[in-house]
Structure 1
Amino acid sequence: MLSSKVILLVCALLVCLYSLIFDRNNSKCSAPTDPGYIFKHMLTFRDVTALSGRLSMQRFGYILSKINIIRPIGTANHTLVREFISKELSESGWTVKLDTFSESTVIGNRTFANIVAVNRPHASRRIILSCHYESKLMHNFYGTIDSAVPCSIIVNIAESLIRLFQSSKSDTTVQLVFFDGEEAFREWTDTDSLYGSRHLAAQMAQADSQGCNEISQIDLFVLLDLIGAAHHPFPRYPHCDPRFYDMLRDIERLLKPFFLLGSQSPEDRRKPSYFSSTIHPGILDDHTPFLSKGVPVLHLVPAPFPPQWHDVSDTIDNIDFEAIHDIQLVIATFLCQFLQVPPNSIENFLTM
């Protein structure tokens, strides 16, 4: 018979072994990333020089030409856009899946498909960059700022910077979400809107056998919407951490030398900020189902809305490519800083 000391020693070893295994299995339930480090460690001028040369507006224009078509849910064009985004991301090295579901709507049963893409899928934390990809069900409505431009910005960043994102030693990785069914089919209500985001948030909130869920892995949920109109800055929203707005303003100041000046006279080259200090009441959008589940969000949508919102004038003829270039660069830099890419890694990876 084993002595009591040996039994106690064996039990202690088993407890330690179980704890190690349990902690490993629960890595995805790890604590949120401390944003304090992110705010304190800014990228360098050398880093953003490399970034600015990587994000091609010519490539952006090509992507936009494939997405900026009339694409309401259930049409052939809607399918074409979904397939284009999925193919571009997959061929660039992203792991892509579709969150497909059917739901009864005010105009009958409809099938929706969110596009979800991730790199470094085994990372324990996520920063989500998102937009919606369908256009509103309106005659001759392209939805260029709503939201072909946001989609094109995300795809361009994803293609151009995936190797850099993969180089990060952070526990946080980038996850892209292109929501389906953001727009109401008739009038906006709690049930006739946000079809894709409501479904995905509910799916991600489901706990696994260890009591963990995907939604608890999200460090920050960034939503882009209505981007591309001239002279429409992003306000601050009360449900968003003001430190992230301060971070965006700091990044903007760092990037000023790389912003497009176009035909502006020297007197006009001091562009107004893309980020207003005005606090605007919260707006219902695809971040709402995630915010209601406790996810930190950063909502980047101008307010008041641009005049072409939900109007047939929302076309490529009414967007500002200079503003798009600048905002795209700010978002890319924000992601790199959030991922805590070490100094000089940006230049090393992007010039290889």
Structure 2
Amino acid sequence: MSPAYRNPIGVVSLWLGFILMLLSCVKAYEKISDETLNRLSRPNNDFDIHNGALLSPILRTRVPGTPGSTAVLNHFADFFRTTLPNWTVEVQNSTAKTPVSKGKEIPFRNFIATRDPPWAPVGDVSRLTLVAHYDSKLEPEGFIGGIDSAAPCAMIMHAMRSVDAALEKKWSALEKQGLHEYLDEVQGLQVIFLDGEEAFQEWTDTDSLYGARALATHWDDQVYPAMSEFKTPLSSISLFVLLDLLGAKSPSIQSYYETTHWAYKNLGALEGRFKSLKQFKSASADRWFIDAAKDERNLKSFGGIQDDHLPFLAKGVEVLHLIDYAPFKGFPSVWHTLDDDGEHLDMDTVEDWSMLITAFVAEWMELEGYFDQPPAVGVRSDEDSDESEAIRLNKKTEL
């Protein structure tokens, strides 16, 4: 048969098969370019400790069940409602007695925000989950908790705001080209701000992690529809990234789990790239990710540090714990003291952390090419734009 009479259905099938072959070669984590690292949004005045839109509303006492806790919870809700309206927001409620509540049930409220691809059923989405606790200690009276963990909450908020437009652009392009139907894995994002991490009296298995324990149990019992890719919200978490005690100078971050050491090393690589590009504001030349050069079999973290990840880890969730703890030195000097306030945050380090988390999320979600570009010289037609978008969608599959 002459080429002029070739079966068009067969041609389409060959083309779709080729696309499927290309997509099967795509890895789940794609590095972003130096150009993109240089262009990532900075928090700037939003991290001002007195009137910054993201950080300052969290820098207050926020013991569970108090007006300060409610005010911070409302701050989170307002941020997502006004700045990231395409996110789904919910609050998971629980109550528990504490050693100082005299038999009274104290409310604990976990804030959860989720951004899934618009075409995907909820049970079919694997989510990168960024986590921090937002409560503060009951004692010493007036404790603020700048590193513990007001600043980590603000870092996560900035990162989600910074990647949201690129995420929307990618998903819209995938739908427009029809390629979303051929993805082996559907990735979304999730933010959890946990309540009740701190002990009310003395850290024990029952006087700590109130919100984390409640949420892990709730999600373990919540089952997705029968034919879903994942059974529960817990099993849909691809990586549980917990930020705690971040915002002091010269942090030391250890790697605690062999199965997530690869993700830890990716963060260490990003730290090195930011520093080589002179995009970090903090002056310290010390390596933050002190285990980045180690093989996962050579980690010596002795099982990790007790924190909000434990109830999730116990149920099989993969965890990356980002906490400032130096061997032979311990936690930052302001830990659990009244000096852990906004004034004692190292703001250059806080901003650098926010950039690092943003870059990590951008790589995990494979957003290279979807951030706004500088204005191009000349005018492109719509056909040129569509062709460029198709090239961008397939650029990662080149052998």
Q: What is the alpha-carbon distance in structure 2 between the residues aligned to residue 152 and residue 350 of structure 1? A: 30
| 1:274 maps to 2:288 | yes
1:7-58 superposed Cα distances (whole Å, 9 cap, x missing partner): xxxxxxxxxxxxxxxxxxxxxxxxxxx9x9245x31111111221xx12221
Alpha-carbon distance in structure 1 between the residues aligned to 2:109 and 2:352: 30
The alpha carbon displacement at 1:240 in A equals 5.2
Give 2:111's aligned amino acid. Answer: I
Look up the match of 1:59. 46
Give the root-mean-square deviation of aligned CA atoms.
2.4
Contact 2:160 2:358 in 1 (8 A): no
1:210 is displaced (CA, Å) by: 2.1
Change (3 A) 1:120 1:209: closer
Match of 1:37 among 23, 27, 44: 27
Identical aligned residues as a percent: 32
**Normalising by the residue count of structure 2, what TM-score does the alignment of the two structures yield?**
0.72
Q: 2:68 aligns with which of 71, 74, 77?
A: 77
Contact 2:281/2:352 (<8 A) preserved: no
Aligned to 2:244: 225
For these two proteins, the number of residue pairs brought into alignment is 308
Find out whether 1:98 has 2:91 as its counterpart. Answer: yes
Q: Does the alignment pair 1:87 with 2:74?
A: no
Report matched runs for 1:97-136 at 5 Å.
Answer: 97-106=90-99, 107=101, 108-120=104-116, 122=120, 124-136=125-137
Q: What is the aligned partner in structure 2 of residue 179 from structure 1?
A: 194
Change (3 A) 1:42 1:185: same
The answer on whether the counterparts of 1:47 and 1:347 sit within 8 Å (CA) in structure 2 is no
Q: Aligned partners of 2:216 and 2:46: how far apart in 1?
A: 32
Paired with 1:279 and 1:255, the residues of 2 have a C-alpha distance of 27
Describe the shift of the 1:260–1:242 C-alpha distance in structure 2 as closer, same or farther (beyond 3 A).
closer
Q: Kindly provide the CA deviation profile for residues 58-92 of structure 1, in whole angstroms up to 9, marking residues without a partner as x.
A: 11221211100111112211111110111111212
Contact 1:89–1:158 (Cα < 8 Å) also in 2:
no
Structure 2, unaligned stretches of length 5 or more?
1-23, 172-184, 292-298, 377-399
Deviation of 1:168 (Å):
4.0
For residue 161 of structure 2, what is the aligned residue in structure 1?
Answer: 159
Q: How does 1:165-244 map to 2 (within 5 A)?
A: 165-169=167-171, 171-206=186-221, 207-208=223-224, 210=226, 212-238=231-257, 241-244=260-263
- Structure 1 pair 131–349 and aligned structure 2 pair: CA distance change class (3 A): farther
SS of corresponding position for 2:61: coil
Residues 331 and 350 of structure 1, relative CA distance in 2, 3 Å threshold = farther
Q: Which residue of 2 aligns with 1:327?
A: 353
2:267 to 248, 251, 274: 248
TM-score under structure 1 normalisation? 0.81
Kindly report which structure 2 residues correspond to 1:335-350, keeping only aligned pairs within 5 A, or say none: 335-341=361-367, 343-348=368-373
Name the residue aligned to 1:13. none
Q: Is the CA contact 1:260–1:326 (under 8 Å) kept in the aligned structure 2?
A: yes
Aligned counterparts of 2:278 and 2:77: Cα–Cα separation in 1: 30
The one-letter code sitting in structure 1 at the alignment partner of 2:353 is I
CA shift in 2, pair 1:67/1:240, >3 Å = farther
